[in-house]
């Protein structure tokens, strides 16, 4: 009888504890109303994905019942309601004062003894699990209404790190509960129509990962700027992760391509080194549990993750996304925090929530912002979004000056945290000194639909309050701030109304940073991916200078060393950077064809690269001199071309992007074509192996006249209308004196184009065009359709309007 009585008492006691404390290994997504989205997700992942090899630190959730129990037992809810009555959230001073009063009420409330005991008992139990007297934990807030598709409460409440005593844990819990009434949280609830007392707060108590001794960061399972869904975007920096979330550092950035990662390839398609100026570590002395120190220069100059670790994180990101996509029945991209334990030398997932900005956007409408004026660039940083805004700058260095900010101004500050949200909502654009694309400023700007430039380093020192500026995020990865109020326009297109023609409409793409965004245009792939932009912008160094580094002058070596930090093998730098640039373009359009033209600089352009002057001859007319195919088998460049081949091989064989085709420019003779193909095969790029197709530019009369013979060597042709016009009419297209005679519509050029199309198709090879003519002249595009061309590759800004021309031409000529 007594055993039954005590058993029932224990059952009731356990049930009561479970009202307030739930362990990650017993949580389910059904508990989301009790523990919030983040804690429910952690519990769900802990029970399912750790069985598949993912590592997640153990812990427990203090449920929303505990928060409501605190309000009920202490009787402070009535006072809180009284303080908030009649609040105007647009009045920054009023909001700040009332928020402070409510937070003080919660912090000074006496914790009910039974609640305190349950929390402490759970903490003791967690400490025993890790074999410690007082385990170090992270204490994270999780609002019970957070991460809804229409309202992300992410970042609204607080997180406290390196909590390692019972007393500090209770204080941290009070601070978490109080953070439900920060200024930004109050304002956000009002904006989204939530009653302050319908939203409760849960707390996650989780074993700390010792990333203070290693690194940490944020990972999204889509591209945060464009919504491109086939990439995992990883950011990382040394130390604890709050610096990245707060935007206090410019982190390392990595992109991994999901489709070929799932096929088993090492699809790390991009790496960008961040400056990582600060490192957050445990604080042994003082009242604060963590502190920031300056990152040693040698650590700033190396990546915080190995390639293998980035790929492991990306695989986990895909696992998490797939888990929640299957569970919810629709695509669910995720926003994930990770950390590396410096003691264990292992990676962990510490938090995950659904991404709620890009995943909610409609992709059937295309909105394009374009500057209509040019101006002086004042500063540059990383662009967030793709919009343009102009207005008056307002530099604010301290949160206490927020009340001076006026609606419609452009906010300029060192960095933002959630306390800044109130005025961020009033801004027309945002510029910060610090932070990356996963910083607070970037995340909030996306949610608000504002253009934002982060990581400028010196915006607050360069710009002045009241200064007229224009901020442009419409020019790729680099966000620019211009002097003055520049004119700009916006074009909106309903892509559902764009009819697809039979003729393939492809694109000319040079800048890898624009590739993800451009992939949303109606297209059939990339007809011309130029290596020159990648070499000029990302590498900047002549490949022979990297191969012959020891022979260079000291001043040239200093320039090269600054660009090739972390590379002992200088030639490897060229291969890696070129491969990453090509891979970003190829991944954006996968599995559609991406035709990559190998380098086609003229000698004077090669000479302008760092170290290039020592390896390039001076020519009277470089336009028709030592360029294109003639370089690739020549002793003066053959070794450098081998690096290009290695980069292309890496993209296809290691990253799995077999949609890449290779195109040879300026191939003057059939024999020259054989020589180039032989060199390519010697460097692992044999035509036909692993499905490799090799194209040739049709840009010389010789290519047209001998199209039958070139067809025996190459799989396809691409008409270069610029050079074909130049060589047909005998016009140097760099000469201003005879520029008026240059016209691709000249009858001689058109006859050659028509003959080339006829001959190539007779020999059952593919033929397209990548020159400017169809982008510039609608009538030339119509002419090409009439001739029966297979594909037309256009500049991105001409794709939509020329597609309409092609559709009309196909109807006219019954194609």
Q: What is the pLDDT of residue 349?
A: 96
Q: What is the pLDDT of residue 1?
A: 44
Q: What is the pLDDT of residue 209?
A: 96
Q: What is the pLDDT of residue 739?
A: 75
Contact status, residue 419 vs residue 444, Cβ threshold 8 Å: no
Specify whether the backbone of 426 is left (phi greater than 0), alpha (psi in -120 to 50) or beta. Answer: alpha
Q: What is the DSSP letter of 385?
A: S
For residue 646, how far is the Cα from the chain centroid? 26
Q: What is the DSSP letter of 194?
A: -
Q: What is the pLDDT of residue 13?
A: 45
For 64-82, b where at least 16 C-beta lie within 10 A, e where not — what string? bbbbebbbeebebeeebee
Q: What is the pLDDT of residue 157?
A: 66
Q: What is the DSSP string of 672-741?
A: HHHHHHHHHHHTT--TTGGG--EEEEE-SHHHHHTHHHHHTT-SEEEE-HHHHHHHHHT--TT-STTGGG
**pTM over 0.75, yes/no:** yes
Q: Phi and psi at residue 795, in whole multiples of 5°?
A: -65, 145
Q: What is the DSSP letter of 507?
A: E
Q: Is 572 exposed, middle or buried (0-12, 13-18, 19+ CB in 10 A)?
A: middle
Distances (CA, A) of 338 to 207, 210, 268, 438, 487: 13, 11, 18, 13, 42
Q: Is 535 exposed, middle or buried (0-12, 13-18, 19+ CB in 10 A)?
A: buried
Q: Phi and psi at residue 559, in whole multiples of 5°?
A: -65, -45
Catalytic residue selected from 215, 473, 770, 787:
770
- Could you state, in chain order, the average pLDDT of each consecutive group of 10 residues for the chain (815 residues)? 41 59 77 68 83 92 90 93 89 89 94 94 95 93 59 61 93 92 84 84 93 96 94 97 87 97 97 94 82 94 97 97 91 95 96 83 77 94 91 91 90 86 89 86 84 93 96 90 95 81 95 93 95 94 96 95 92 97 98 97 94 94 92 97 98 98 98 98 96 97 97 97 91 77 92 97 96 88 96 91 92 81
Q: What is the pLDDT of residue 337?
A: 94
Catalytic residue selected from 215, 440, 452, 645:
440
Q: Phi and psi at residue 26, in whole multiples of 5°?
A: -125, 0
Q: What is the pLDDT of residue 182?
A: 87
d(CA 31, CA 43) in angstroms, rounded, equals 9
Q: What is the 3-state secondary structure (H, E, C) of 546-613?
A: HHCHHHCCHHHHHHHHHHCCCCCCHHHHHHHHHHHHHHHHHHHHCCCCEEEECCCCCHHHHHCCECHH
Least Cα distance to 291 among 276, 280, 278 occurs for 280
Spell out the residues 6+ positions from residue 379 whose beta carbon is closer than 8 angstroms to its own.
431, 453, 456, 458, 459, 462, 463, 480, 481
Does 440 qualify as catalytic in the annotation?
yes
For residue 178, how far is the Cα from the chain centroid? 34
Spell out the residues 6+ positions from residue 129 whose beta carbon is closer than 8 angstroms to its own.
58, 135
- Kindly report whether the peptide bond that precedes residue 342 is cis, defined as omega within 30 degrees of 0: no
d(CA 799, CA 806) in angstroms, rounded, equals 10
Least Cα distance to 446 among 526, 385, 355 occurs for 385
Does 770 qualify as catalytic in the annotation?
yes
Q: What is the DSSP letter of 402?
A: G
């Amino acid at each position: 009888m007594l055993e039954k009585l005590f058993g029932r008492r224990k059952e009731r006691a356990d049930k009561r504890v479970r009202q307030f404390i739930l362990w990650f290994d017993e949580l389910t997504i059904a508990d989301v109303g009790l523990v919030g989205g983040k804690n429910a997700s952690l519990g769900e992942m802990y029970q399912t994905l750790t069985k598949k090899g993912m590592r997640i630190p153990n812990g427990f959730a203090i449920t929303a019942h505990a928060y409501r129990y605190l309000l009920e037992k202490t009787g402070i809810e009535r006072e809180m309601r009284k303080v908030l009555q009649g609040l105007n959230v647009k009045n920054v001073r009023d909001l700040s004062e009332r928020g402070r009063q409510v937070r003080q009420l919660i912090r000074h409330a006496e914790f009910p003894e039974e609640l305190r005991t349950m929390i402490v008992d759970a903490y003791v139990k967690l400490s025993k699990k890790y074999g410690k007297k007082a385990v170090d934990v992270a204490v994270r807030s999780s609002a019970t209404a957070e991460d809804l598709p229409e309202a992300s409460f992410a970042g609204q409440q607080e997180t406290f790190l390196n909590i390692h005593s019972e007393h500090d844990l209770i204080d941290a819990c009070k601070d978490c509960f109080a953070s439900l009434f920060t200024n930004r949280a109050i304002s956000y609830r009002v904006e989204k129509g939530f009653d302050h007392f319908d939203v409760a707060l849960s707390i996650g108590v989780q074993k700390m990962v010792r990333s203070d001794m290693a690194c940490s960061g944020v990972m999204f399972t889509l591209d945060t700027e464009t919504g491109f869904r086939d990439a995992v975007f990883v950011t990382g920096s040394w130390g604890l992760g709050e610096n990245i979330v707060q935007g206090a550092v410019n982190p390392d950035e990595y992109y991994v391509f999901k489709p070929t990662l799932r096929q088993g390839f090492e699809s790390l398609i991009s790496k960008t080194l961040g400056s990582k100026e600060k490192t957050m570590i445990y604080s042994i002395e003082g009242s604060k549990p963590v502190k920031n120190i300056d990152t040693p220069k040698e650590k700033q100059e190396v990546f915080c993750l190995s390639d293998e670790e980035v790929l492991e994180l990306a695989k986990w990101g895909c696992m998490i996304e797939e888990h929640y996509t299957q569970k919810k029945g629709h695509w669910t991209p995720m926003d994930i925090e990770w950390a590396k334990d410096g003691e264990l030398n292992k990676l962990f997932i510490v938090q995950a929530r659904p991404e709620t900005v890009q995943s909610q956007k409609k992709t059937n409408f295309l909105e394009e912002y374009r500057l209509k004026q040019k101006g002086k660039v004042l500063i540059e940083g990383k662009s967030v979004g793709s919009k343009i805004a102009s207005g008056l700058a307002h530099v604010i260095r301290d949160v206490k000056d927020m009340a001076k900010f006026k609606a419609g101004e452009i906010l300029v500050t060192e960095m933002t945290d959630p306390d800044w949200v109130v005025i961020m909502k009033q801004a027309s654009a945002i510029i910060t000194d610090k932070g990356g694309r996963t910083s607070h400023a970037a995340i909030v700007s996306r949610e608000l639909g504002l253009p934002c430039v982060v990581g400028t380093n010196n915006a607050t020192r360069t710009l002045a309050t009241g200064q007229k500026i224009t901020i442009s995020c419409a020019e790729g990865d680099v966000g620019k701030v211009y002097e003055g109020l520049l004119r700009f326009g916006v074009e909106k297109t309903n892509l559902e109304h764009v009819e697809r023609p039979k003729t393939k409409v492809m694109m000319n793409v040079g800048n890898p940073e624009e590739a993800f965004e451009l992939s949303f245009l109606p297209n059939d792939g990339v007809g011309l991916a130029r290596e020159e932009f990648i070499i000029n912008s990302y590498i900047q160094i002549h490949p022979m200078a990297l191969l012959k580094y020891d022979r260079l002058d000291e001043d040239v070596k200093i320039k090269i060393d600054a660009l090739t930090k972390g590379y002992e093998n200088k030639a490897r730098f060229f291969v890696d950077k070129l491969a990453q640039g090509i891979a970003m373009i190829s991944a954006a359009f996968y599995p559609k064809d991406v035709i990559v033209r190998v380098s086609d600089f003229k000698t004077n352009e090669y000479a302008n690269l760092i170290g290039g002057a020592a390896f390039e001859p001076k020519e009277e007319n470089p336009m028709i001199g030592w360029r294109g195919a003639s370089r690739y088998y020549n002793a003066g460049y053959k070794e450098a071309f081998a690096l290009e081949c290695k980069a292309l091989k890496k993209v296809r064989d290691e990253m799995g992007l077999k949609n890449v085709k290779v195109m040879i420019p300026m191939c003057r003779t059939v024999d020259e074509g054989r020589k180039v193909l032989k060199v390519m095969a010697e460097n692992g790029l044999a035509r036909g192996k692993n499905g490799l197709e090799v194209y040739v530019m049709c840009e010389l009369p010789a290519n047209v006249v001998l199209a039958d013979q070139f067809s025996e060597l190459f799989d396809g042709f691409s008409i270069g209308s610029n050079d074909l016009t130049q060589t047909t009419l005998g016009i140097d297209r760099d000469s201003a004196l005879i520029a008026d005679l240059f016209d691709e519509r000249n009858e001689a050029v058109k006859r050659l184009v028509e003959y080339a199309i006829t001959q190539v198709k007779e020999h059952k090879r593919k033929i397209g065009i990548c020159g400017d003519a169809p982008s510039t002249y609608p009538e030339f595009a119509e002419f090409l359709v009439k001739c029966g061309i297979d594909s037309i590759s256009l500049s991105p800004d001409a794709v939509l309007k020329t597609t309409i021309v092609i559709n009309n031409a196909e109807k006219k000529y019954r194609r």
